[in-house]
Amino acid sequence: MSKRHAGKNEKKDEIMNSSDAADVMSWESNNAGRLVIWAIRLWTQGRARNLPVAPALRVAFSRANIPQAVAVFERFMLAMDNGLCRDIRVNRICNNQPTPDEVLLVEILERIQARDCRGARDGMACLFTCEGCQRVYEQLDQLTAMMRDANLMISGADLDCRKNTGKMENPASARLVH
């Protein structure tokens, strides 16, 4: 993943304080797609700044009644980091607009959770190497099963914030992952 920093004037721990991060996402905890996107953004920013994210992830996933998903999520992120075939765009945690790559990730999760393996793998082929697809799929299958067991169903409709805001995505807020 890219080690680029979003801005030199930002406080290093601005987003990574576990209680602040959990407060930022409190509206996300009943929305599975947004929860995952929030967690991806948090993990990416934490990695770029060399800050711990596990405490905030534990709070968020506990609020969603899946505290056991933290370890699986972290394995997914490591598999994704090592298996990407191209850079993907991930917005900052405070941005309410999903990037096309974030939307694609939610669609992949939705298909895996619905057990549409072929559809999920077709989407994954746009992002991951062949080896990466297998590793990422294994982790996402576990993650979506945990979410399904907690009645957290992922849907592309989870990202309807695209329709509700008149704002255009700010390119300066985007992060490159890979």
pLDDT in tens, the chain (178 residues): 443 334 433 444 444 554 555 544 544 456 888 899 999 999 999 999 999 999 999 999 999 999 999 999 999 999 999 999 999 999 998 888 899 999 999 999 999 999 999 999 999 999 999 999 999 999 999 999 999 999 999 887 766 644 433 332 333 333 445 4
Q: Decide: pTM greater than 0.85.
A: no
36 within domain boundaries: yes
Q: Which domain holds residue 151?
A: 18-167+171-177
Instruction: Indicate whether 7 belongs to any domain.
Output: no
Q: Is residue 1 in a domain?
A: no
- 114, part of any domain: yes
Count of the separate structural domains present in the chain: 1
Print burial letters for 101-123: b (CB count within 10 Å at least 16), e (below 16). Answer: bbbbbbbbbbbbbeeeeeebbeb
Q: Is residue 5 part of a domain?
A: no
Going from the C-alpha of 77 to that of each of 27, 37, 71, 107, 160, the distances in angstroms are: 23, 12, 10, 17, 24
Go through 66-99 and write b for each residue having 16 or more CB atoms within 10 A of its CB, e for each that does not.
beebbebbbbbbebbbebbeeebbbbbbebebbb
